[in-house]
Amino acid sequence: MATRVKAVAALIAAMILVGSSLATGRVLVATLPIHFASLLRFALASLVLAPLVLVREGRLPHLSRRSLAIVFAQALCGSFLFTVCLLSGLRLTGAAEAGVTAAATPAAVALMGWLLFRERPSGRAVGGILATMAGIAVLTAGAGAAQGPAPLQGNALVLCAVVFEAAFLLLRRAVPEPLSPLGAALWVSLCGTALFLGPGLWQAGDITAADLTPTAVAAVLHYALGVTVAAYVCWFYGVVRVDAATAGVATGIMPVAALAFAALVCGERIGWREMAGCAAVLAGIVCLATAGTARPARTAVAGAVRVERHDS
């Protein structure tokens, strides 16, 4: 029980950090090119994580070819495609709207848990997914009055990011070998650096010293140390110790955090659409939280046992 409580707490902490990234991302895309900023983010995270792994574990984690392929796919979904879709979407829509749209993550996680781990959702879980979709519909209905030059397209890009994020969050559980949270975060960060290396260096040619303002540097540091290092480690610790439904429910804190940071950091006004959409999404999360799954995921349970033994 204590392990499960710590795992859920770690997942919630990770989602608060991810929620804050929506506001930070809106600041970031206004100051630096997306690929260049992302290259800095993952390179810095790798430089921080590598010595931590060496000090704590004595060596860099070794992965089989199969596990490396899974981690690379995870990085492709969660580090590259998620980042590109999210930051591109934040150019077109407000951080508050993006936060509510991103609240579809629990539903996406539940659906992918069904597809990838055969955790068939119950009737109540299906109701939760439908409530989440209703929340997104409420948000999209008045997109013309939303903040941002093209909120409808921006929200669509954020919704694509949600799909990639769900795949990223669950693929960690498919790695068959013992891998610590620090080791998993390091491997994903290294893969993220490799994926953004080419386009990031291409955009670096247009960067001047004047572009590296204190605001831009602070946003990159937050993304690297908070969203990548801290959030990845917290999520990787928790996700292998709970089922997909619980992991999906934990992501429900993200829209609340996103709305709060959008108001505090970006000064955005939280209107009735955002509140109504968030309420519908949270209702769906409650359904998902109390629904459970019709069939347990043996892969996830076995993975949790392996990691717990490794960590002990």
SS3 annotation, 150-215: CHHHHHHHHHHHHHHHHHHHHHHHHCCCCCCHHHHHHHHHHHHHHHHHHHHHHHHCCCCHHHCCHH
pLDDT (0 to 100) of residue 81: 93
Residue 142 pLDDT > 90 = no
Q: Stretch 42-56: mean pLDDT, rounded? A: 94
User: 287-307, pLDDT tens digit by residue?
Assistant: 755 655 444 444 443 343 333
Q: Where are the domains of the chain?
A: 2-311
Residue 61 pLDDT > 80 = yes
Q: Stretch 10-16: mean pLDDT, rounded? A: 87
pLDDT (0 to 100) of residue 137: 67
pTM of the model: 0.73
Q: Stretch 274-288: mean pLDDT, rounded? A: 69
CA distances to 23, 228, 239, 264 from 17, in Å:
11, 9, 16, 14
pLDDT (0 to 100) of residue 121: 61
At 151, the pLDDT band (50, 70, 90 cuts) reads confident
Name the least confident of 71-75, 94-98, 163-167: 94-98
3-state DSSP call for residue 120? coil
- Highest mean pLDDT, choosing among 27-31, 104-108, 196-200: 196-200
Which residue did the predictor score with more confidence, 248 or 309?
248
Q: At what angle do helices 253-265 and 2-29 cross, to 10 degrees?
A: 40
Residue 284 pLDDT > 70 = no
Residue 239 pLDDT > 70 = yes
Q: How many CB atoms lie within 10 A of CB 123?
A: 10
Residue 165 pLDDT > 90 = no
Q: Stretch 149-174: mean pLDDT, rounded? A: 82
